[in-house]
Structure 1
Amino acid sequence: FGIPLLEAMAAGVPVVTARRSSLPEVCGEAALYLDQDDPERLADLIREVVDRSDVAAELTARGRLRAREFLPEAIAARIGDVYERMLPGLGAERDVQVQS
Protein backbone atom coordinates (compact mmCIF):
# COMPACT_ATOMS: atom_id res chain seq x y z
CA PHE A 1 0.00 0.00 0.00
CA GLY A 2 2.84 2.44 0.62
CA ILE A 3 2.79 2.93 4.39
CA PRO A 4 6.60 3.36 4.55
CA LEU A 5 6.31 6.15 1.99
CA LEU A 6 3.56 7.86 3.99
CA GLU A 7 5.73 7.56 7.10
CA ALA A 8 8.64 9.13 5.24
CA MET A 9 6.47 11.99 3.98
CA ALA A 10 5.04 12.59 7.47
CA ALA A 11 8.61 12.76 8.79
CA GLY A 12 9.59 15.34 6.17
CA VAL A 13 11.69 13.03 3.99
CA PRO A 14 11.48 13.65 0.22
CA VAL A 15 10.24 10.55 -1.61
CA VAL A 16 11.59 9.04 -4.82
CA THR A 17 9.72 5.89 -5.79
CA ALA A 18 8.74 3.58 -8.62
CA ARG A 19 5.68 4.29 -10.71
CA ARG A 20 3.98 0.98 -9.96
CA SER A 21 1.24 -0.63 -7.94
CA SER A 22 -0.59 1.85 -5.71
CA LEU A 23 2.43 4.08 -5.10
CA PRO A 24 1.43 6.92 -7.46
CA GLU A 25 -2.06 6.91 -5.96
CA VAL A 26 -0.66 7.01 -2.43
CA CYS A 27 2.03 9.65 -3.03
CA GLY A 28 0.25 11.79 -5.59
CA GLU A 29 2.19 14.95 -6.42
CA ALA A 30 4.37 14.54 -3.33
CA ALA A 31 7.00 12.27 -4.88
CA LEU A 32 9.34 11.94 -7.83
CA TYR A 33 8.72 8.80 -9.91
CA LEU A 34 10.74 6.46 -12.09
CA ASP A 35 10.09 3.30 -14.05
CA GLN A 36 11.07 0.44 -11.78
CA ASP A 37 13.99 -0.98 -13.79
CA ASP A 38 15.90 2.24 -14.42
CA PRO A 39 18.79 2.61 -11.96
CA GLU A 40 20.26 5.55 -13.88
CA ARG A 41 17.00 7.49 -13.56
CA LEU A 42 16.88 6.62 -9.86
CA ALA A 43 20.37 8.07 -9.41
CA ASP A 44 19.39 11.20 -11.36
CA LEU A 45 16.30 11.78 -9.21
CA ILE A 46 18.20 11.26 -5.97
CA ARG A 47 20.85 13.73 -7.17
CA GLU A 48 18.11 16.21 -8.03
CA VAL A 49 16.73 16.03 -4.48
CA VAL A 50 20.19 16.26 -2.90
CA ASP A 51 21.52 19.03 -5.16
CA ARG A 52 18.40 21.20 -5.35
CA SER A 53 17.14 22.38 -2.00
CA ASP A 54 14.07 23.91 -3.67
CA VAL A 55 13.01 20.49 -5.00
CA ALA A 56 13.63 18.86 -1.62
CA ALA A 57 11.68 21.59 0.18
CA GLU A 58 8.74 21.33 -2.22
CA LEU A 59 8.60 17.54 -1.91
CA THR A 60 8.82 17.83 1.88
CA ALA A 61 5.95 20.32 2.05
CA ARG A 62 3.78 18.33 -0.37
CA GLY A 63 4.62 15.10 1.44
CA ARG A 64 3.58 16.37 4.84
CA LEU A 65 0.26 17.58 3.44
CA ARG A 66 -0.30 14.32 1.57
CA ALA A 67 0.46 12.21 4.66
CA ARG A 68 -2.21 14.11 6.61
CA GLU A 69 -4.81 12.89 4.12
CA PHE A 70 -4.19 9.34 5.40
CA LEU A 71 -4.54 10.06 9.12
CA PRO A 72 -7.31 7.98 10.74
CA GLU A 73 -9.34 11.13 11.42
CA ALA A 74 -9.18 12.22 7.78
CA ILE A 75 -10.18 8.79 6.49
CA ALA A 76 -13.02 8.52 9.01
CA ALA A 77 -14.33 11.92 7.90
CA ARG A 78 -14.28 10.85 4.23
CA ILE A 79 -16.06 7.60 5.03
CA GLY A 80 -18.64 9.57 7.02
CA ASP A 81 -19.17 11.85 4.03
CA VAL A 82 -19.84 8.83 1.83
CA TYR A 83 -22.44 7.50 4.27
CA GLU A 84 -24.11 10.90 4.50
CA ARG A 85 -24.39 11.10 0.72
CA MET A 86 -25.72 7.54 0.50
CA LEU A 87 -28.13 7.82 3.43
CA PRO A 88 -29.25 11.45 3.59
CA GLY A 89 -30.91 12.51 6.80
CA LEU A 90 -29.72 9.56 8.87
CA GLY A 91 -27.71 10.62 11.87
CA ALA A 92 -27.36 14.20 10.75
CA GLU A 93 -27.93 15.40 14.29
CA ARG A 94 -25.30 13.05 15.75
CA ASP A 95 -21.74 14.21 16.30
CA VAL A 96 -19.41 11.23 15.98
CA GLN A 97 -16.00 11.50 17.59
CA VAL A 98 -13.13 9.42 16.21
CA GLN A 99 -10.70 8.00 18.72
CA SER A 100 -7.18 7.19 17.62
Structure 2
Amino acid sequence: MTSINFNIRLDSRLKERAFSVIESYGLTPSQAIKLFLNQIADTKSVPLSFDHHADTPNAVTRLAMLEAIENRKNGKNLKGYTNMDQMMKDILQEQE
Protein backbone atom coordinates (compact mmCIF):
# COMPACT_ATOMS: atom_id res chain seq x y z
CA MET A 1 0.00 0.00 0.00
CA THR A 2 1.41 3.35 -1.02
CA SER A 3 1.23 6.21 1.45
CA ILE A 4 0.87 9.86 0.56
CA ASN A 5 1.17 13.08 2.50
CA PHE A 6 -1.96 15.19 2.80
CA ASN A 7 -1.71 18.82 3.89
CA ILE A 8 -4.57 21.04 5.03
CA ARG A 9 -4.80 24.65 6.12
CA LEU A 10 -6.32 25.26 9.53
CA ASP A 11 -6.93 28.29 11.65
CA SER A 12 -4.46 27.98 14.55
CA ARG A 13 -7.24 28.23 17.14
CA LEU A 14 -9.26 25.47 15.43
CA LYS A 15 -6.16 23.26 15.30
CA GLU A 16 -5.49 23.83 18.99
CA ARG A 17 -9.09 23.06 20.00
CA ALA A 18 -9.48 20.03 17.72
CA PHE A 19 -6.11 18.44 18.48
CA SER A 20 -6.80 18.78 22.20
CA VAL A 21 -9.99 16.73 21.81
CA ILE A 22 -8.28 14.17 19.56
CA GLU A 23 -5.46 13.72 22.07
CA SER A 24 -7.97 13.30 24.91
CA TYR A 25 -9.07 10.12 23.11
CA GLY A 26 -5.49 8.89 23.10
CA LEU A 27 -5.14 9.42 19.35
CA THR A 28 -2.73 11.37 17.23
CA PRO A 29 -4.21 13.77 14.67
CA SER A 30 -2.99 11.46 11.91
CA GLN A 31 -4.76 8.46 13.47
CA ALA A 32 -7.98 10.44 13.92
CA ILE A 33 -7.99 11.59 10.30
CA LYS A 34 -7.28 8.03 9.08
CA LEU A 35 -10.18 6.72 11.21
CA PHE A 36 -12.45 9.42 9.81
CA LEU A 37 -11.48 8.68 6.18
CA ASN A 38 -11.76 4.91 6.68
CA GLN A 39 -15.24 5.35 8.12
CA ILE A 40 -16.29 7.43 5.12
CA ALA A 41 -14.85 4.87 2.69
CA ASP A 42 -16.40 1.89 4.50
CA THR A 43 -19.88 3.35 5.01
CA LYS A 44 -20.05 5.67 2.01
CA SER A 45 -21.37 8.36 4.35
CA VAL A 46 -19.91 11.11 6.50
CA PRO A 47 -19.91 10.04 10.18
CA LEU A 48 -21.10 13.23 11.82
CA SER A 49 -23.49 13.44 14.72
CA PHE A 50 -24.90 16.63 16.13
CA ASP A 51 -26.28 14.92 19.23
CA HIS A 52 -23.91 15.99 21.99
CA HIS A 53 -25.76 13.91 24.55
CA ALA A 54 -25.13 10.57 22.85
CA ASP A 55 -23.24 7.99 24.90
CA THR A 56 -19.74 7.60 23.51
CA PRO A 57 -16.85 5.53 24.83
CA ASN A 58 -14.14 7.41 26.69
CA ALA A 59 -10.48 7.41 25.64
CA VAL A 60 -9.59 4.29 27.65
CA THR A 61 -12.52 2.32 26.23
CA ARG A 62 -11.76 3.46 22.67
CA LEU A 63 -8.14 2.33 23.00
CA ALA A 64 -9.27 -1.04 24.40
CA MET A 65 -11.68 -1.43 21.47
CA LEU A 66 -8.94 -0.61 18.95
CA GLU A 67 -6.61 -3.07 20.69
CA ALA A 68 -9.28 -5.80 20.56
CA ILE A 69 -9.82 -5.18 16.85
CA GLU A 70 -6.07 -5.44 16.20
CA ASN A 71 -5.81 -8.60 18.31
CA ARG A 72 -8.60 -10.21 16.34
CA LYS A 73 -7.02 -9.19 13.02
CA ASN A 74 -3.71 -10.69 14.18
CA GLY A 75 -5.33 -13.97 15.19
CA LYS A 76 -4.87 -13.61 18.93
CA ASN A 77 -7.18 -15.90 20.87
CA LEU A 78 -9.43 -13.71 22.99
CA LYS A 79 -11.78 -15.21 25.55
CA GLY A 80 -15.44 -14.24 25.38
CA TYR A 81 -18.17 -14.57 27.96
CA THR A 82 -21.87 -15.30 27.75
CA ASN A 83 -22.61 -14.11 31.28
CA MET A 84 -21.29 -11.56 33.75
CA ASP A 85 -20.79 -14.05 36.61
CA GLN A 86 -18.21 -16.11 34.71
CA MET A 87 -16.39 -12.98 33.58
CA MET A 88 -16.20 -11.66 37.15
CA LYS A 89 -14.90 -15.04 38.42
CA ASP A 90 -12.09 -14.94 35.87
CA ILE A 91 -11.23 -11.33 36.67
CA LEU A 92 -11.07 -12.05 40.40
CA GLN A 93 -8.90 -15.15 39.81
CA GLU A 94 -6.47 -13.10 37.69
CA GLN A 95 -6.07 -10.61 40.54
CA GLU A 96 -5.05 -13.28 43.08
TM-score with structure 2 setting the length: 0.29
TM-score with structure 1 setting the length: 0.28
- Higher relative CO (Cα under 8 Å, sequence separation at least 6) belongs to 1
Q: Which structure: greater strand fraction?
A: 1
